[in-house]
Structure 1
Amino acid sequence: MYMLVWIMFLVAGMALGGAWTAYKNDSKLWTIIAALVGVVATATALSWLVAEMGAAA
């Protein structure tokens, strides 16, 4: 399960990087879409990480 957490953090980073790139290119729609995907992926990764830490203890 730890590998899925790492993958989700990578997805979040790529999405947030894409949001920044879209913002710099003045694309409001893609900025919002990529930012939402990044925020959801970050929240998912953090919740999975907390669950894994609780299961490991």
Structure 2
Amino acid sequence: RDINVSPDQAKRQAEQLMQSRSNVSFVLLAGLDHAFQNQRGESEIPAVIKQIRAWLERT
């Protein structure tokens, strides 16, 4: 739903980076825009932060 950055383009760029680097991760947050709002305009920032924290704990 992001109109600022094409999710498909971002995924392609991440895939290109992953071919030459081992320290790249890519997560598509389906249904969220660039401000982490869902289609109803509600903020999903707490859920996004939770995902980021979990990623940081794994790395």
Q: TM-score, normalised by structure 2?
A: 0.35
Choose between structure 1 and 2: higher helix proportion. Answer: 1
Q: Which has the higher contact order (CA 8 A, sep 6+)?
A: 1
Q: TM-score, normalised by structure 1?
A: 0.36
